[in-house]
Amino acid sequence: MNNEPYREFDVREFADYKQDTNRNKGVANIWANKKIRHRAEYMQARVEKLRELYEKCEPECVYRWELPEGETDGRKAYKVETIVGDDISPFDLPNFEELMPDEVDYVERYIE
């Protein structure tokens, strides 16, 4: 361990510290806004594509009512869902990445 005593932050050093942090303040914000904008458009495109894929991959379901054992009152019946066919998620598709939009297409719009 270091045997030096704890050195508190001196108020006179604060001006030097603050001066260094403001050096590129405006430049960084311009690029950050462009990055956020393209990222938001890319994520929105992914969401729309996923909605479309979920609609295509939605399995067919059959519903029936069942009574609990020993019951005769129909008000106590519960609905049972039976899936007909394959229940597959869009994330399980073999070509999932090819179906999704490419981020490079959205980055190129903001590169000047």
| pLDDT recorded at residue 9 | 59
pTM: 0.54
64-108 residue pLDDT tens = 999 999 988 989 999 999 998 888 889 998 999 999 988 877 776
Q: Are 105 and 111 in contact (CB under 8 A)?
A: no
5-40 residue pLDDT tens = 655 656 666 666 555 555 555 555 555 556 666 778
For residue 51 the two structure tokens come to 């909605």
Closest of 58, 54, 59 to residue 100, by C-alpha: 54
